[in-house]
Structure 1
Amino acid sequence: MASESSMDIVSKMDMQELKNAIDQAEREITSRFDFKNTKTSFELEKDSLTIISDDEYKLGAVIDILQSKMIKRGVPFKNLDFGKVESASLNTVRQKMGLKSGIESDNSKKINTLIRDSKLKVKSQIQGDQIRVTSKSRDDLQAVMKLLREADLSIELQFTNFK
């Protein structure tokens, strides 16, 4: 058995699962009576998602539908960065959402501070857009996982390469 155990803390969005959630939401919208004859659509780009609908009320309902489909498919809803609602052509409104992937430097520093303040016997280091945590005890790594799950962070975290 290795003398040091380690894990990586990452924040990523599975684009295929997001596409599946959007497809399911589109199917539900086309079958619902309250969305009959509306101009509701999704536009998925590499790093953003735009939702277009008739008015702000329907836009909110579409976002709720999308959120439920994302949760069912295990796609982190916290990793959507909501923009403001804008007026669009043909009397519609649109909202653009950025797709967060990776841990930004301010969140990395916050996570490192949380780990350091926990007084657990672990070492953490920032490696680009992920954080590597090492320890002699796997129990300490699991305690770090529990600590970060309970922390109020602006992104959803995943724990990979647990060795």
Structure 2
Amino acid sequence: MPSFDIVSELDVQEVDNAINQARKEVEGRYDFKGSKSEIQWDKKEITLLAEDDYKVEAMGGILQTKLHRRGIDIKAVKFEKPEPAGGKMLRQKVTLVQGIDREVAKDILKLIKDSKLKVQPSIADDKVKVSSKSIDELQECIALVKGGSFAVPLQFNNMRS
């Protein structure tokens, strides 16, 4: 039976490239010369460290621009409020969202079921699996979900006949 998966994944290599580009831009910008501004990344979360609000916001803008240019959807990036980090520094955590949480998955299921398409959606871990007897129905389902607006970026993969 034909099926496909709806997932929310990030290309970690592209995120790494975007962070490296953002670091280079911060190092080269005149308004950051002589400051203790840095971008840290531990493969799960990005941390922006700077001396004041202006620099933290500027680094956030640079990071968003670099991520967007690398094809990373901005919906997959969650910026928290800047907090004091000691030594007159500010820290802002940036979380990368991967996987579809239960609430978003339920919204996707509701959208698909309300459409009356002849498909069988189901939640499997952090993805939504959709199967049907007709590939045409699956393609209509993909178009339907693409047209919806959800809190996370969605990709469609593992199309099987």
Q: Deviations over 1:89-132 (max 9, x none)?
A: 23221111222221111111111111111222211011111111
Match of 2:146 in 1: 149
Match of 1:100 in 2: 97
**Percent identity (aligned):** 41
For 2:19, which of 18, 22, 38 is the aligned residue?
22
SS at match of 2:81: strand
> What root-mean-square deviation, in Å, do the aligned CA atoms of Structure 1 and Structure 2 show?
1.6
Aligned equivalents of 1:150 and 1:54: distance in 2? 42
Q: Does 1:162 align with 2:159?
A: yes
Aligned equivalents of 2:58 and 2:46: distance in 1? 16
More deviation in 20-29 or 83-92?
83-92
Shift of 1:51: 0.9
**What residue identity is the alignment partner of 1:114?**
L
Listed as ranges, the gaps of 5+ residues in structure 2 are none
Match of 1:91 in 2: 88
Tell me the TM-score normalised to structure 2 length.
0.90
Shift of 1:145: 2.1
Q: Deviations over 1:4-63 (max 9, x none)?
A: 321111111222211110001111111222222222211212422111122222212211
For 2:42, which of 40, 45, 69 is the aligned residue?
45
Aligned equivalents of 2:119 and 2:36: distance in 1? 53
Listed as ranges, the gaps of 5+ residues in structure 1 are none
**What residue identity is the alignment partner of 1:17?**
E
Q: Which runs of 4+ in 1 moved over 6 A?
A: none
Aligned equivalents of 1:93 and 1:160: distance in 2? 40
Match of 2:121 in 1: 124
SS at match of 1:84: coil
Aligned equivalents of 1:79 and 1:151: distance in 2? 16
**What residue identity is the alignment partner of 1:77?**
I
Tell me the TM-score normalised to structure 1 length.
0.89
Size of the alignment, in residue pairs?
160
Shift of 1:133: 0.7
SS at match of 2:47: strand
Change in CA separation of 1:143 and 1:35 when aligned onto 2, cut-off 3 Å: farther
Aligned equivalents of 1:39 and 1:140: distance in 2? 55
